[in-house]
Structure 1
């Protein structure tokens, strides 16, 4: 089963400095049919104006993954971590027992990110943060784990949940496959470009909620950049 969720159907709000689109219920967007997908709870498509951002605020017991699509985001937190994550790179914050952080676009141009929240398997652990570059060439033609709760994904940022966040880049006409498994939930969003997923066309920034599909076959109709979350039910 694949349910296409067109970008124009997503909830959201335009705050001036932030134009946010929500794949799932979030903040003032309430949709009882879109409360999450497996352990995936939030997927926000955020456009952040230059020299603005999210002031310090707190989280607990959530895995928060930031995928930077354009520009860069600068992170600071109550653990003393500070880092700048730029386009194509990923940061993971395990909120654990509690952490306060800020995320600012300190650049001269607009920043665009996907912010993804996944429910952890255990609660109350010490908070943590990390970031890592993932050059587009290293994920050309196939899905590569960017963040993962599986020990075998040694090059991925660690998650405290049995889930993966994966990225791929495809040239127009190129096809790749990913084995999802019958007991897993998948959620795929093309960050750029249109693709065909198991025969269903997705435009850039559309969502695809996937279950009971053992293999995902993705063909790029134009040059495309993809992000996929694979979680337990």
Structure 2
């Protein structure tokens, strides 16, 4: 089953410094049919103006994954972590028992990110943060695990939940498969380009909520950059 969620149907708000679109209910946007997808709770499509960003604010008991599409994001938190994550790379913050952080676009250009929140499997752990480069060439023609809560995904950033965040870059006409399993849920968004899944066209920044699929097969209609969450 594929529930297509076109970009134009998403909630959101333009705050000037931040133009945000919400795949799921968030802030002042509430749609009872789009509250979560399995343990995937938030997928925000954010465009952050140059030299602006999110000032320090708290989180707890949430796995927060930031996928940078264009530009760069600069992170600082109450644990003393500081880091700059560039386009194509990923950062993960496990909020745990509580952390304050800021996320700023310190660049002279817009920064575009996907911000993904996944509900943790267990609570009460200390907060942590990490970031890692994932060269697009290494995920050419295939899905690569970027963040994972499963044993064995040693090259991925760790998250404390039964989920994976994956990325792929496909040339037009190329196909990639992912072994999902019928008991799992997937949510897929092309960061760029259009793809086809089981006869359904998914354009750039559209969302596709997928379930009851053993093997997920994605074919690129254009050169495409894809982000996928495999959720419990």
The aligned counterpart of 1:202 is: 202
Is residue 2:231 matched to residue 1:231?
yes
The aligned counterpart of 2:54 is: 54
CA distance, structure 1, for counterparts of residue 145 and residue 24 of structure 2:
23
CA distance, structure 1, for counterparts of residue 50 and residue 41 of structure 2:
28
The aligned counterpart of 2:84 is: 84
Q: Deviations over 1:123-163 (max 9, x none)?
A: 11100000000000000001000000011111000010010
The aligned counterpart of 1:74 is: 74
CA RMSD across the alignment: 0.4
The aligned counterpart of 1:153 is: 153
CA distance, structure 2, for counterparts of residue 114 and residue 198 of structure 1:
24
Number of aligned pairs? Answer: 232
CA distance, structure 1, for counterparts of residue 51 and residue 213 of structure 2:
42
Deviation at 1:199, TM superposition (A): 1.4
Secondary structure in 2 matching 1:138: helix
CA distance, structure 1, for counterparts of residue 20 and residue 36 of structure 2:
17
Task: Map residues 157-172 of structure 1 onto 2, 5 A cutoff.
Answer: 157-172=157-172
Secondary structure in 2 matching 1:32: coil
Q: Deviations over 1:30-74 (max 9, x none)?
A: 100000000000000000000000000000000000000000000
Deviation at 1:197, TM superposition (A): 1.0
Is residue 2:20 matched to residue 1:25?
no
Secondary structure in 2 matching 1:218: strand
The aligned counterpart of 2:103 is: 103
Deviation at 1:198, TM superposition (A): 1.7
The aligned counterpart of 2:43 is: 43
Unaligned runs of 5+ in 1: none
CA distance, structure 1, for counterparts of residue 227 and residue 68 of structure 2:
11
The aligned counterpart of 2:63 is: 63
The aligned counterpart of 1:120 is: 120
**What TM-score, normalized to structure 2?**
0.99
**What TM-score, normalized to structure 1?**
0.99
The aligned counterpart of 2:94 is: 94
Q: Deviations over 1:87-111 (max 9, x none)?
A: 0000000000000000000000000
